[in-house]
Structures are given as C-alpha cells and as structure tokens.
Amino acid sequence: MINNKEKLVFKISYVIILLVVCSIALGWYSKILRNELKDLVRNTLKQVSNQNVLIVQKEIEGDLNALTEVAERIGALGALGELQQEEIVETLKEVSYRYPFKRMGFCGTDGIAYATDGNITDISERSYFEASLQGEKCISEPFADPLSGGDIIVFSVPVRSNSEIVGIVFATYGVDSMKEILSVSSFEGKGYTYIVRRDGSKVVDSVSPTSFQNMSNIFTSMKAADRRNTQAVRDLKRILDKDETGYVIFYNEIGKYMYATPLGINDWFLIDVVPVDFMESTSNYIIHRTYLICALLAAVFVVLAAMLYQGERKKKQQMQNLLFVDELTGGDTLAKFKSDAELRISDHSKTAAFLMMDLEGFKLINELFGYDEGNKVLRYVWEVLQKNCGADECIARSIADRFNMLLYYERKKDIEDRVLKITEEIQRYSIPKASEYILHPTFGIYYAEPGDYDVESIMNCVALAHNLARQGRDSIYKIYTDVMKERMLQKKQLSDQIEHAYKNREFVVYYQPKYDSETRMLAGAEALVRWRKPDGQMISPGLFIPLVEESGFVRKLDEYVFQEVCLAQKRWIDKGLRVVPISVNLSQRHLENPEFIDQYKAILDNSGVPIEYIQLEITESAMFEKKEEFVAIMERLHQLGFVILMDDFGTGYSSLMMLKSIPVDVMKLDKSFVDDYDDIRGEQIIRCVMRMAQDLSIAITAEGVETEEQYNFLKSIGCDTIQGYYFAKPMPEEEFEACMQQITK
Ligand code: C2E
Ligand code: CA
Ligand code: CA
C-alpha cells in the first residue's frame, strides 16, 4: 500500500516534471518565435530600405530628367553662338521655380558658368563639368557651396546643338534638401537614414538627434560610439566592399540595426538605422503576450485541476462516508473497522482483543416496541461502547444489533472485566414502555496472537465464539479457542453428510426403557435417534440434533422416528407382546409449521396403533420462544388424544405457574435436577416441583437417574417413573423387544 508520504512525493515529482516539460516546450516555442520574428524584422528593414532607395532614386532621376529636358530645349534654341547668355538664363529661371534646386545655370565649353541667381563662375576645373562635356549625366559629390555656403550636390547634363556638345546645364541641389527627403519618417520617426560612400565617408548625414552628429565617416563614428562595434564595423565594411545589401547591429547608447543598400549612384549607399528595441518591440510584444497567454492558460489549468481535484476529493470523501460512516450511530461501519483494524494489528507493541457483541432477542424489541425504540437502544449501546473505549481502540456497528470492537489489554482479565462493565451499563437502559425488560448482550472474544494479521479470519473466529455465547446461555461471553474451530469444522462436515445419511437409512431408533418407581416394572420407553454410519460408527444425537435443528431438517427426522416407532409398536402388538407407551421427541421447529399434527395423526392411523401407545416429548424451552403457538399446538395434540410430556423440565425459563396454562400430562425432571438432589437447595426445589405437579395432576418422570441413592430419593418423594442408566441405557430395537418379552410372560 502506498502511504501518504509516498503519495506526496509522487505528486510533487509529477508537478515538477510537468513544469519542466512545459518550460522546455515554452522555451523551444519562444526560440522558434524569436527566429521567425527576426526574419520578420530583417524583411521589414529590407522593405523600408528599398523604399527609401526608391525615393532617393526617383528624386534624383526626376531632377536629372528635368535637367535633360531643359538641356534639350536650350539645344533646340539654335546655334549657341547666336544665343544670348541672358536668354538661356531666362529660360532656366522659368524652369527652376518648378524644382527644389538652389540655382540652375548654363556653362559653355569655356567653363564660365552663368547661374540663375546672377553669379558667373569658372567651373572648368570641376569634375562634373568635364564629365558632362564628355556627354555624361553627372551627379557630383557634395561640396561646400562657394557662393552661399552649405553643402551642395550638382547635377549636370550636356547640351547638344546639332548633336554637338555646346555646353552643360547644371542644377545645384542643397544637401539639406536631400536630408529632408531622407528624413521622411519611417519606423514611426524612430529611424533615420544616411548616405555614405563605399569607404564610409559621409555623403548625406541625418538631422535626427539620435544619429551620429558631425559624422564624416560612418566607420569612425561607429568605432567612437561604442567599443562593441568593432565587429559591426568589420561586417559593414564587408557589405559595402561587396556592393551588397545587409545589416549589422551596432551600439550608440542603445543597440540599433543598420541596413545598407547600394543606391546605384556613384559609390553611394543608403544606410537605414533603427533601434533594435523598436524593431523588436513588436516581437517582444508578441513573445510577452505569448508568455502571458501561457501563464493565463497555466493558471486556468491549475485552477481547473485544483477544482477537479477538490471535486474528486469531495466525491471520494462522500463515497468514504457512505462506506465508512454508520448512518444510525454516526460511528464507524464494519468496512472502516476492518481497515483500521488492519493497521492496528500490524503494530505488535500492543496486545489486542477482538470482540463481537449483540443483544439477545433484539429482533423482539423491534417487533414489540417499534423500530424507533430499537434504534434508540442501538444508539444507547453505541454510546456505552464509546465511553468504554480508548481513543486508539476501534468500535463499529456492522449489521442490526451487532457491534465489533478492537480493544487493547495487558491482562486478559481486563478485557473480561470491561465486558462485564459494559454489560452492566447496557443493562441500565430501560425501555419506556417496558421498564422490566432487560437487555442481554452476549460477547465473543478473540485474543489476537502476535502472528495474526488476517483481520477477516480473526473476525470469523470472533463470530464463532460469539455464536457459541449466544447458544450457550451459560455465560455472557465466550473466548475463542482452537477447539471451537475444530468442533465447528466437524459440525460442518456432519451437516453436509446428514441428508445423504437419511436417504441411506443410516438413522436408527434406540429405545430407553422407563420404569415404575414403585414396582420397578417396565412402564414405557423413550425413542432416541442414532446415526449409525456404514462403518458402524455411532454418532450421538447431541452432536447432530443441534445441526438439523438449525437447518430445519429435524422435522423430517422426527417424523421418521415417529413413523418407525409406530411401525415397531404395530409389529410388537401383532406379535402379541405386552406393549408399553413409547414417547417420541418433538423438536420446537415443529411450532413453525402446525400442519405436522395432521401428518402425525395420519401416520398413526395408518399404522393402526392405538394413540395411548405413542406419547410426545417437547422441551420446556420451546414454550419460551412462541408461547401462543406452543399452547395452541399442545392443545390440539392433547385433543387428538396424545399424552404430552414436558421434556428437560427445569432447564428453561418457564415458571411452575406456566404449567397451569399448558395441557401437560407428564413432566420430565431434567437430569441436572436429579444430579443436584443431594444438596439442600436441590432437594427443596425437587420437593417443591413435585408438590406443584401433584396439585396439577401432572405425573413425574425423572431423567438421568444413575444411582440407587437417586432412585431411592426420587421414589421417596413420589416420583412416578424413572428413566436412566440405573435401570437401562438406550438400546436397539431387538434388545428392547426382549425387555417387553420379559413382562409379557
Ligand atoms: P433427551 O430427550 O433429554 O434424551 C435423554 C438423553 O439423556 C438421551 O441422550 C439419553 O441417552 C440420556 N440419558 C438417559 N439416561 C441417562 C443417564 O442415566 N445418564 C446420562 N448421562 N444420560 C442419560 P441421547 O440419546 O444422546 O439424546 C440426546 C438428546 O438428543 C435428547 O435429549 C434429545 O433432546 C435429542 N434427541 C434424541 N433423539 C431425538 C429425536 O428423535 N428427535 C429429536 N427432536 N431430538 C432427539
Ligand atoms: Ca426426550
Ligand atoms: Ca430430557
């Protein structure tokens, strides 16, 4: 059996394993989630970056297209020589308003530039001038505007007249305007953008306060911002060198993503920067939400599990209550008693006794005074038992009025004293409607031995002892002994064999003669059944009669004896012998079924034996059980003409007064009376009984007379008939026939 500690350890390990598995699963899940989200971040960065590149490219392309258009218009004006510089500048002015250029200008092959703001400058040294004269559309590197300050970028395209390059048109674009375009907020204003060259040098930096301030080279700025950026610098360099797109994470106070994309203009790269926090805020949000949902689910799970567990426990408790709590007394049931007793009995430090108790004739209380009264009695008994039991001892009611107890003791006598004390207390109870009614508890006791561990078989032993106490009536308790068990087994064997023996005609009738005390002549006989086994072994009725009484088979057996006696009498009459009345025993089980009277009468009539030769013996104790039925049956038998003998007089509870109401012809004084004749009390009782019987005209037969002294005494006080070993033992038919032959002569 698993004890509570083991159960707890089991439960805790179960929970720990569950938690570990859940954590692993959650960790694994969040790793996958993070990877997925990282990809998402990268893609978002890529998309935003591509968008920015497109914006810049479009802007620049638009500007170059506009410029080309202007160049074509100028070229179309005619041969340059014919053109007035002013005319060209006017044309440019018209156009320039429409574009975000700082100024526009025209420069002939001589390198003298005429700008829309009126400035005339020599640009012959500038690289864009040279490149455009070669027919290229050009975008310059930023440089400081020598005219109005601030950094500028110059766009230039060639002007062709009659497919000959006659000069260039240029437009000056403020870097600040470029910054504005780049600062079009992406990432909710948290991101910013640079344009750098392959070597990291700045083309356009950012206005964002969180960007590198006064940046001249992005690598230098990164290195200066944080020592951890070495790797990021290296990675970025590699990306730029290979003209690829890619990202690095760097630190400038906080961690940031930097995404580089080639712009397709010069060796410029667009660098988009966005804080890691921002990018990951979504993923962190999702992860945190996931954790939260998991935690919520876990909480719901825990609550549900707890509720389920609680419910289960409650159900179990209810079930246990049903099984373990006796509704009537509120105490333990037999099931609880057994389970407790099992635990107690394994503790060998104390010596335990098992007891079983019930009340004699409790059924009668229910029948006479009602079930409510019966229940009150049971509750009272329960209280008494509880009061007399220690905290570690067990008591339970099993069924009806049966109680089981497990008591501890040091000396066996203590248990017996406690039994007496309990009895005394129980007997103090008085039933309101019948205060003279006294409760009679009987007990079976079993003293457990050190090797006893099987409660079930112990209970069987107590039940056996208890049964004997109920039957015995000589003591309120019986202590179990192994002999009891042996006897019980023997009895069981016998009762299994009886019906077969009956069919096998193993039952034979013996006769014990009765003698006239005055004349010492044969005056009658008692028919006594014997069981003769096929091997010749004789089994005493003292052994098997109680068994057949219990099963009811005794009725069949009695009828058999009655018939055998009738037949024997008939034979003897026919033989011309001087027959004497023979008494046949009638079990009290016949009281349950008065129809036997007619059957007996029929058997007798069929045999043709006169009724005065067959007498009936019925024990006095039968009267106690069912007095009315008893009297009715006696009267009926008497009316038919049977002589009725009251057997075993003095062993039961009937008083002499009762004899008045029953039609008894002969009283058979029990052997125990006869045995006690020599003590004063015994003698007085016998004399008193004799007088009473004589007053009622009841004849007296003394049973079990073994000595001459007994015979003489009984004769002297007027006993009519004597039955006992003094004269003769019960004998087989032939022997008894010989006795009759003697008196016939
Ligand atoms: P019981 O009816 O009281 O029968 C008398 C018993 O006392 C007989 O025992 C008899 O053998 C014995 N007895 C007679 N004289 C003496 C004596 O001087 N000394 C001693 N020690 N014993 C004496 P048995 O035959 O063993 O019968 C025992 C009991 O079995 C009978 O007691 C009776 O109650 C029952 N029984 C016997 N035959 C029948 C039967 O056919 N039907 C029924 N229902 N019960 C029977
Ligand atoms: Ca008898
Ligand atoms: Ca008797």
**352 Cα to the center of ligand 1, angstroms:** 41
Q: What is the arithmetic mean of pLDDT over 573-580?
A: 96
**506 Cα to the center of ligand 1, angstroms:** 18
- Read off φ and ψ for residue 144, nearest 5 degrees: -75, 135
State the pLDDT confidence band at 116, using cuts at 50, 70 and 90: confident
For residue 723, the ligand closest to its alpha carbon is 1
Q: What is the arithmetic mean of pLDDT over 445-469?
A: 92
710 contacts: CB under 8 Å, gap ≥ 6: 674, 677, 702, 724, 726
725 lines ligand 1 (CB under 6 A): yes
423 lines ligand 1 (CB under 6 A): no
Residue 534, SS3 per DSSP:
coil
Residue nearest to atom 19 of ligand 1 (CA): 704
More confident residue, 437 or 460: 460
- Summarised one tens digit per residue, pLDDT across range 388-399 is 999 999 999 998
701 lines ligand 1 (CB under 6 A): no
Q: Are 168 and 106 in contact (CB under 8 A)?
A: yes
For residue 512, the ligand closest to its alpha carbon is 1
80 pLDDT higher than 70? no
pLDDT at 581: 98
587 lines ligand 1 (CB under 6 A): yes
pLDDT at 127: 86
Long-range (24+ apart) CB contacts under 8 A made by 279-286 are: 279/41, 279/44, 279/45, 279/187, 280/37, 280/41, 282/37, 282/40, 283/33, 283/34, 283/37, 283/38, 283/40, 283/41, 286/33, 286/37
More confident residue, 608 or 347: 608
15 contacts: CB under 8 Å, gap ≥ 6: none
Question: How many residues are recorded in the chain?
Answer: 745
655 pLDDT higher than 80? no
Across 204-232, b (16+ Cβ under 10 Å) vs e yields bbbebeebbeebebbbebbeebeeebeeb
632 pLDDT higher than 70? yes
3-state helix, strand, coil in the chain (%, to 5): 55, 20, 25
CA distance 110 to 342: 122
DSSP-assigned states of every residue in 172-198: EEEHHHHHHHHTS--GGGT-EEEEE-T
CA distance 138 to 140: 6
pLDDT at 336: 92
Of 512, 543, 531, 521, nearest to 733 by C-alpha is: 512
Q: Strand 269-275 vs strand 192-196: parallel, antiparallel, or unpaired?
A: antiparallel
Neighbours of 603 (CB within 10 A): 17
Residue nearest to atom 32 of ligand 1 (CA): 542
Neighbours of 726 (CB within 10 A): 19
**614 Cα to the center of ligand 1, angstroms:** 17
Under DSSP, the state recorded for 141 is P
Q: What is the arithmetic mean of pLDDT over 360-388?
A: 91
293 pLDDT higher than 90? no
Across 387-420, b (16+ Cβ under 10 Å) vs e yields ebbeeebbbbbbeebbbbbbbbbeeeeebbebbe
Structure tokens at 322: 């049903």
Q: Are 678 and 616 in contact (CB under 8 A)?
A: no
Task: For tokens 């600062």, name the residue.
Answer: 183
For residue 559, the ligand closest to its alpha carbon is 1
More confident residue, 88 or 605: 605
**528 Cα to the center of ligand 1, angstroms:** 6
* SS3 letters across 466-507: HHHHHHHCCCCEEECCHHHHHHHHHHHHHHHHHHHHHHCCCE
Of 438, 437, 457, 441, nearest to 449 by C-alpha is: 457
- Summarised one tens digit per residue, pLDDT across range 674-691 is 888 788 777 887 888 888
Q: What is the arithmetic mean of pLDDT over 52-75?
A: 85
Query: Considering the chain, what is the average pLDDT of its residues?
Result: 88
CA distance 351 to 354: 10
More confident residue, 71 or 578: 578
pLDDT at 85: 73
- Cα distances (angstroms) measured from residue 646 to each of 25, 74, 658, 723: 92, 161, 12, 14
Q: Strand 202-204 vs strand 351-359: parallel, antiparallel, or unpaired?
A: unpaired
**723 Cα to the center of ligand 1, angstroms:** 11
**540 Cα to the center of ligand 1, angstroms:** 9
326 lines ligand 1 (CB under 6 A): no
The ligand 1 atom at the shortest distance from the C-alpha of residue 587 is 44
558 lines ligand 1 (CB under 6 A): yes
141 pLDDT higher than 90? no
DSSP-assigned states of every residue in 650-698: TSSS--GGGGGGS--SEEEE-HHHHHGGGSHHHHHHHHHHHHHHHHTT-
The ligand 1 atom at the shortest distance from the C-alpha of residue 668 is 3
The ligand 1 atom at the shortest distance from the C-alpha of residue 705 is 18
**175 Cα to the center of ligand 1, angstroms:** 141
Share of the chain above pLDDT 90, in %: 47
620 lines ligand 1 (CB under 6 A): no
**500 Cα to the center of ligand 1, angstroms:** 23
Residue nearest to atom 28 of ligand 1 (CA): 542
pLDDT at 1: 44
For residue 669, the ligand closest to its alpha carbon is 3
Share of the chain above pLDDT 70, in %: 97
State the pLDDT confidence band at 547, using cuts at 50, 70 and 90: confident
Of 432, 430, 466, nearest to 353 by C-alpha is: 466
**670 Cα to the center of ligand 3, angstroms:** 6
Q: Are 376 and 426 in contact (CB under 8 A)?
A: no
512 lines ligand 1 (CB under 6 A): yes
More confident residue, 569 or 135: 569
**436 Cα to the center of ligand 1, angstroms:** 35
Q: Is 300 buried (19+), middle (13-18) or exposed (0-12) by CB count in 10 A?
A: exposed
CA distance 33 to 407: 68
Q: Are 588 and 536 in contact (CB under 8 A)?
A: no
Q: What is the arithmetic mean of pLDDT over 140-169?
A: 86
pLDDT at 304: 92
Residue 289, SS3 per DSSP:
helix
Under DSSP, the state recorded for 110 is T
467 pLDDT higher than 60? yes
pLDDT at 67: 87
528 lines ligand 1 (CB under 6 A): yes
Identify any residues that bridge with 643 across adjacent strands, giving them in sequence order: 615
Residue 348, SS3 per DSSP:
coil
Of 197, 196, 145, nearest to 172 by C-alpha is: 145
For residue 622, the ligand closest to its alpha carbon is 1
Mutate to test the pocket of ligand 1, among 528, 563, 705, 714 (most ligand atoms within 8 A of CB): 528
The angle that helices 733-744 and 554-574 make with each other, rounded to 10 degrees, is 40
Under DSSP, the state recorded for 325 is B
180 pLDDT higher than 50? yes
Helices then strands, counting H and E runs in the chain, come out as 22, 27
588 lines ligand 1 (CB under 6 A): no
Task: For tokens 């299994």, name the residue.
Answer: 496
Residue type, 304: L
- Summarised one tens digit per residue, pLDDT across range 595-630 is 999 999 999 999 999 999 999 999 877 776 677 888
Structure tokens at 325: 């709590």
pLDDT at 42: 81
Under DSSP, the state recorded for 212 is P
235 lines ligand 1 (CB under 6 A): no
pLDDT at 510: 97
CA distance 130 to 252: 41
Alpha helices in 325-411 (DSSP H): 334-345, 362-369, 371-387
**647 Cα to the center of ligand 2, angstroms:** 6
374 lines ligand 1 (CB under 6 A): no
State the pLDDT confidence band at 652, using cuts at 50, 70 and 90: low
State the pLDDT confidence band at 657, using cuts at 50, 70 and 90: low
Long-range (24+ apart) CB contacts under 8 A made by 326-333 are: 326/396, 326/397, 328/375, 328/378, 328/379, 328/397, 329/378, 329/379, 329/382, 329/397, 331/382, 331/386, 331/395, 331/396, 331/397, 332/394, 332/395, 332/396, 332/397, 333/396, 333/397, 333/398
CA distance 178 to 195: 10
Q: Are 360 and 470 in contact (CB under 8 A)?
A: yes
Of 178, 192, 183, 131, nearest to 157 by C-alpha is: 131
Q: What is the arithmetic mean of pLDDT over 138-147?
A: 86
The ligand 1 atom at the shortest distance from the C-alpha of residue 725 is 18
pTM, full prediction = 0.51
**171 Cα to the center of ligand 2, angstroms:** 151
Of 101, 68, 52, nearest to 268 by C-alpha is: 52
242 Cα distance to chain centroid: 71
541 lines ligand 1 (CB under 6 A): yes
State the pLDDT confidence band at 712, using cuts at 50, 70 and 90: very high
- Cα distances (angstroms) measured from residue 601 to each of 140, 569, 635, 642: 150, 15, 14, 10
State the pLDDT confidence band at 461, using cuts at 50, 70 and 90: very high
